[in-house]
Chains A and B, each alone.
Chain A
């Protein structure tokens, strides 16, 4: 490979990735464990050093561990966060070489061919890596070898580095488990008396293949560098951030808007090429005195039209205190959503876009979730016959229907005190400190509670709804609960 340049691979193993992640956030003294519920048992998922020294081990039932070690502190494991942390470490490792891949759930693999001299040599590179990881509070075992298999073996068993071309000598004495084999294969090899890699390499190949399948010798050849193995670097997600640095500080609003417009044009071009639209935009304005101010814009629809987004920034930029002037502007699309290119049609109008812009502008003032709209729901219960959804995250529906007239206002049921508990509407009643006399009543309309849902207000059982026209003019929506006789007012008609 590369005409005489030997391939060099570093494998980093994080034996306590999950607990290190949690302890970085909140350090604790003494034994600590993360627990994970698997098939109805709460087991230990990851431990810190203190807990390991006390004899606890991963996979142990948590109740046993508590019995051994009463002062064990624990937290539930978060596997997704661990995965994110591993990805973050992968991004960090790109500082050493561009070719970084993930290894299982708890490791990284780096192809440092030709980059070690930038750090002053391999030993210095490994030293730097160890120092930075230990400063960050992450336990790591690092192996360096000519192949991915060798680096893995050295990271997990013995932690060392193999000099160029001497991989097989270094691996000689390691156990066969260092070859990334299954547990069963390792036991089988042990029964044959093949305990180290050196013994395995010297054994006859054909009987081994016949007994353990081709994967055993493939792993051996990969470790010894006789068979190539790929390292797959992950693709970096597109970064939606642009910035502009100004030679002279600016402070007038129109200048800031002009700068924002230039940034937006660049950003929108990028959004367009990825067929995405921005949902949340953050504009950071750095002042000459190193202070920085941020303007956040949350949009009601994903957008990538610079001329439409720019006026929406006006209100936020109004509030910015420029101080001695702004010399750097940075615009980032914090949240993006897919927004495929759509066919234009002659029937579409700009009205909807204008409404979205209005929702955005109102949303920047009162919060986007406070601009709401009604959506139909499938229920007879008056309170559940509609849904309230944020207008920015829903589209209007028009499947509204009702058989009987419904009141314009509904409120929490107010009991009518002092009325008789008969199933016909009371002749006279008081509500909100007003006296009413029933002139006409239509009903009853019986509505039964939805037994499959828990609702405290429906504990009183079925309701008989009456539309009561009062002599005072108001039309009220009363109901009677036959199962616990009393009268309530729940709504007022238009």
Chain B
């Protein structure tokens, strides 16, 4: 899905691009602060304790934001992640219910997720002509389908022994363990993207795949790695979601892919590839989550919440476009 003309004139635009990006994150940070003030005004229940208690389910989704950001930066997409969550949670539950040690159940979640991601990666790198959208659409149906078959006619499995999963759903004080893990993952993924050659390779591939290939980057290897990591993180999400649901069913993780992509895009990561960084993505993820929590607390119609998020998303992606075309016009005038 890389830019079709295959020409993003990175060298010319770099400066202005950088400054817009920085200002975008600045704007997000201001929005984040404003949102918290707004939230605490509209909802009397918007307290640190309450917010942290409501958060784990959303935090599970944020695990997938990091690799999804990588995939978007590559100019690819993965819409099968929700189904991977479902499948890995299902398998994890079944393993746990056979009486095996709970560690093995965790491992199953991660392994199943990784395998699913690997499968996506193998198909995409073997048949490079195929758009990621359609392949992951196919696997989206298949992964959830396999979970449906495994779950059988009941369509739901519950943990017989919740002790192990209860442990990872635990809290340190009022802060859920998963919160710390998300922060750790955020740091690791941000550093890899910003500071390592691997991260730079991703940007290179995203802005021009052919050029990256000629520059000696093994494009397909990078894609394979990123899709596998995506699977791994989806498995991790499945594991923590199981700890919140004490089980899994056929609708587990439904629509997570859209939530995650929305968070990334709202954070300034372009689906055309090569643009954006994780700091924006992380702030925007928390903005969306906190907005959802606060609007939920004032009992706004759940569909209306979705309308608001949809509108915010469109406005967020419109702003850079409008400002850049405005700048272009000014430049034209200056030239004249």
Q: Do A and B come from one complex?
A: no
B: which residues have CB within 8 A of A? Answer: none
A: residues with CB less than 8 A from B are none
